[in-house]
Amino acid sequence: MPTKTTVPEDHRDDARPQFVLEALREHRHFVMCAHEKPDGDVLGSGFALGLALKAMGKTVHYFLDDEVPRNLRFLPDADKTQRTFEGIDPSALYVFMDMSDRARADDALAAVPRAQIINIDHHLGNKRFGRWNYVLEAEAATGILVLNLIGGLRQTVTEDIATCLLTAIISDTGCFLYSNATPSTLRVAATLQDLGADKDVITEQLYQTRSFSGQKILGRVLDDFVLTDDGICYSTVSQKLLESFGASHEDLEDVVGALRAVDHCEVAALLKESPDGSYRLSLRSRGRVNVMEAARALGGGGHFRAAGATLAGPLADALDRMLTAVRAEMEAERARG
Ligand code: 5GP
Ligand code: MN
């Protein structure tokens, strides 16, 4: 169990980092935890905080029930993730990063008690599932919250930490393309580059390198997409297609962005079949329609302009439910005027 702190058991205050800082200072053992389908924000944030805590003499483990995606293997400490609890102290605190709901974490983490969870996140509707919560919904990336914490711990932002945090920001802003890239986000990114973050490696890996099969599948998705009269642009990727190219969902990173770019598209949707016959849905909005609410109606979540959910098959039903949920949000947007 965690050692004693001054934080009340039911602590749910979330906008200020001080209680999280206290927990980070007082405890010795930490486990960085990611959501399923880990991305540059969750991994960059975890490695950055892990590096800073190790510099303070703490023990850090990176729990990841996935492979690190190929395009993120350049991250410092990316070779140190583990799929088991081997070597983890029973008193360790588990830092859940970049997830609004602990159900987004690997199933293996379901048994971690709330008393040992720190929740650091920037998603709308975060459930404050940790004993300690630090949630800033207005920030573009969890990495920015981690930078605040590292500052609060009075730790040096090394070149490696700067690279991790710039990866988090570049990943969640779509390389500064999305509206969440505010002047303050850009200033933080500039500071990280000044501190030695390797911007060129990050952008090359995240935006200028696609797998052969991913690029081929993008071609199919663009060939097959449907644009409805009310501005929903959707396409699907079947397991059969993935298998024919020896590809996985990892090869489909931001294929949905290519649908969103179609003129007259208000909401883009990509349905990706999983081996178990369910569909992973990715939603993107041009900016008027709140796709987070549409995703939430389908049991998922995310952000105003980028969200996702898992839908049961068959495909026709999944498509139907997606269209109904998106249209309900379009209606809500029209009602708001
Ligand atoms: P993507 O389409 O890239 O998988 O996800 C877009 C955004 O939606 C991400 O920020 C992710 O956090 C969120 N998201 C995707 N799937 C889910 C889901 O099943 N549940 C929740 N709560 N959020 C999701
Ligand atoms: Mn994020």
pLDDT in tens, 29-39: 999 999 998 99
CATH number at residue 313: 3.10.310.30
In a domain, 10, yes or no: no
Query: In this structure, are 224 and 104 located in the same domain?
Result: no
The pLDDT value recorded for residue 156 is: 97
The pLDDT value recorded for residue 13 is: 55
CATH number at residue 199: 3.90.1640.10
Tokens 């797998």 belong to residue? 211
For the stretch 250-282, pLDDT in tens is: 899 889 999 999 999 999 999 999 999 999 999
Cα three-residue angle 147-151-156, rounded to 5 degrees: 95
Is 50 exceeded by the pLDDT of residue 2? no
pTM of the shown model: 0.86
d(CA 290, CA 323): 14
Query: In this structure, are 139 and 272 located in the same domain?
Result: no
In a domain, 6, yes or no: no
d(CA 121, CA 135): 5
> What is the tally of structural domains in the chain?
2
Which residues contact residue 146 at a Cβ distance below 8 angstroms, ignoring those fewer than 6 apart? 45, 48, 49, 97, 120, 165, 168
Query: Domain boundary at 207, 240, 275, which?
Result: 207
The span from the first CA to the last CA of the chain, in angstroms, equals 52
Is 80 exceeded by the pLDDT of residue 45? yes
Query: In this structure, are 296 and 187 located in the same domain?
Result: no
Across residues 283-302, what is the average pLDDT? 96
The pLDDT value recorded for residue 7 is: 41
**Per-residue buried b or exposed e for 47-83, using 16+ beta carbons within 10 Å of the residue's own CB:** bbbbbbbeeeebebbbbbbeebbebbebbbbbeebee
In a domain, 9, yes or no: no
For the stretch 149-201, pLDDT in tens is: 999 999 999 999 999 999 999 999 999 998 899 999 999 999 999 999 999 99
For the stretch 68-96, pLDDT in tens is: 999 999 999 999 999 999 999 999 999 99
Is 60 exceeded by the pLDDT of residue 1? no
Query: In this structure, are 174 and 264 located in the same domain?
Result: no
Query: Domain boundary at 158, 188, 207, which?
Result: 207
Query: In this structure, are 167 and 291 located in the same domain?
Result: no
The pLDDT value recorded for residue 179 is: 87
Query: In this structure, are 189 and 217 located in the same domain?
Result: no
> Helix (H) and strand (E) counts for the chain?
11, 12
Domain residues for the domain of 103 are 18-207
Nearest CA to ligand 1 atom 2: 282
Ligand 1 pocket residue status of 119, Cβ below 6 Å: no
Query: Domain boundary at 153, 179, 207, which?
Result: 207
The pLDDT value recorded for residue 232 is: 98
Ligand 1 pocket residue status of 131, Cβ below 6 Å: no
Query: In this structure, are 235 and 291 located in the same domain?
Result: yes
Cα of 142 vs centre of ligand 2, distance in Å, is: 5
